[in-house]
Structure formats: structure tokens, C-alpha cells
Chain A
Amino acid sequence: MMASIMSSSNPAANPDRSSTRRKKKKKIHHNPQIQPETPKIQWQSDAQQQIYSSKLLHALQQVRLGSSGSEPSSSAPRRVRDAAYGVLAATARGRTRWSRAILTSRLKLKFMKKNNIAKRQRKVMTVIAAAGYQPRRKSKVGVFRLKSKCFPAFQRKARVLSRLIPGCRKQPFPVVLEETTDYIAALQMQVRAMSALAELLTGSGSSSSSSAQLS
């Protein structure tokens, strides 16, 4: 209450901002694991990789258990891949657009599987995205106004990049760059974790009596 009274001199958008700031603070209290440093460092930490690996293992067990014909259209590698990206997005704790976009699209698939209508999916996506939606008219113009970046080649590549990062198709360029930085760091960790997991499984698979050795 006090915050909104004190910020009454500021434009009307502030009460929303202060409430989101309060929400962000709440999030930090709930999750002591979140490091306030740059996201790059977070993805490079061993702890983060451990969290991801164990979550991935659990998810992969689900993939195996559910492989008895629930989704005959998707192949096993596809399901592993989807699980890997889903767990990666979940590990990101909703702080980046790309992770939220991945989680949103997975939710859509879960609920809309039976209907299978593209129009409805697009509607749902608009509703969900509207929660954190900023006016994009100005920012799109902002990309074109940049002094040294007016070359069509640059803009073309910026478009391509924004299409590569999930959830960033229509975002302004600085946002795309920030998301890219985090996305690349997360992908690097994902590759490290999956490689380590594959190594472990390869090592254990070669000796059939390994489980006996373990006990």
C-alpha cells in the first residue's frame, strides 16, 4: 500500500510494476537456490547441472513408462528431446522468455491434443502471452532507428535469430540478445548434462552384472 501511495507521482503503469517487483521479491524468498549473479554463471554451476540431470532422469523414466502406445506418432528420440527441453525450461524457473515459451507450448499440447485445431491453439497462446505483454509497436520501430544497424543484412540476421529462440519472434532486438545469451548458456549446460548421462548409461550398459556390483 505504502509503495503505491509513494509512487503516485509516477505514471500509472507503476502500481503494476511495484506489484511485479513485490512478486519477484517473493520468488527470491521462496527459492534460495537462485543466485543473483548473471544467468551465464548460473548455467555454468555444477549445482545447476546436478539439478537438471536429476530432473531429466526422472522425466526420462516417465518417457519410458509411457512408451507403451500413448503417443504412437512420436518416436522415442523425439520424446527424449521434448523431455530434455521441458526440463531445461523448468529449471530456468520462469525468468526467461524462451523458457516460458517452451512451457506454454507444452501446456497447449497437453490440453489441446484432442481438438487438434491450430486456430484454437493460437487463441490460447494469445491469452497466456497477454499476461506479460508489452506494447510492441514502439519497439519494432526502435530496431529500424538504430544508427549503425540499418544494414539489411544485419536486420535479416536479427530476424533469423529471433525465430531461433523460442518465444522471441516478435520481441525487440535487445530483448532477443538477452534471451540469446541465456539460451546459449542453458543449451551448453544441457549438452554437458546429456553427454554425462549418456556416458554413465554407456558405462553401465556394457557390463550386465554391474547392478550386482553396485549392491
Chain B
Amino acid sequence: MSSRRSRSRHSGSSRVTDDQINDLVSKLQQLLPEMHNRRSDKKSATKVLQETCNYIRSLHREVDDLSERLSELLENADTTQADLIRSLIMQ
């Protein structure tokens, strides 16, 4: 209870409640690829944070790999204009 009181004293611009945090954490959990999550309560918030960090790092790595691949492909492609037209048509 004391924590709530001191929180309200400090609140001003940031009225943060545990429920809001839990809500946000569960939303975050649904984005993680692990399970397509219906059982959201099973994971502790710390675990979700850990997996979020890992997931973001793996996404960064994937973007880096794709960048490498794209740079090689662009190097070899003769005309970029043909690629552009082609990819826009093939929607």
C-alpha cells in the first residue's frame, strides 16, 4: 500500500499501475514467436523480457544477413530498373 501512495505522490505525468505493465507485457508476449500464445499467464514477466531481448537480437541478425544477401544480389544484377519494374508488377 505504501508503494501505491508514494507512486501517486510522484505520478504527475506517469500514472503507472502494475496492471498496465502486466497488460503491456502480455501483449508483448503475444508477439513472440515461441508459442502462438493463448496461455499468457504461464510465463513470468522476467522470462518474457528475456525472450523479447533474444528475439530482437535475432531479428537484427536476420536483417543483417538479408542486407548482405541483398547487397550481393544488387552487385550482380545488371539493370536495377528492370528489377524495380518487375517487383512492382509482381504484387
Contacts and interface: CB of A to CB of B under 8 A. Distances in A.
Contacts of A54: 88
Contacts, number: 168
A50 B91 CA distance: 8
A154 B21 CA distance: 13
Contact of B76 (A149, A157, A205): A205
Contacts of A139: 13-14, 16
Contacts of B10: 138, 141-142, 145
Given A64-B80, A197-B87, 12 more contacts: A60-B80, A77-B70, A80-B71, A142-B14, A153-B46, A165-B56, A172-B14, A178-B24, A181-B28, A188-B31, A188-B59, A194-B63
Interface of B: 3, 6-7, 10-14, 16, 18, 20-21, 24-25, 27-28, 31, 45-46, 49-50, 52-53, 55-57, 59-60, 62-64, 66-71, 73-80, 82-88, 90-91
* 9 residue pairs, one from A and one from B, having the closest CB atoms: A81-B67, A157-B49, A76-B71, A177-B24, A201-B73, A194-B66, A80-B67, A211-B82, A187-B59
Interface of A: 40, 50, 53-54, 57, 60-61, 63-64, 75-81, 84-85, 134-135, 138-139, 141-142, 145-149, 151, 153-154, 157-158, 160-161, 164-165, 172-174, 177-178, 180-181, 183-185, 187-188, 190-191, 194-195, 197-198, 200-202, 204-205, 208, 210-211, 214
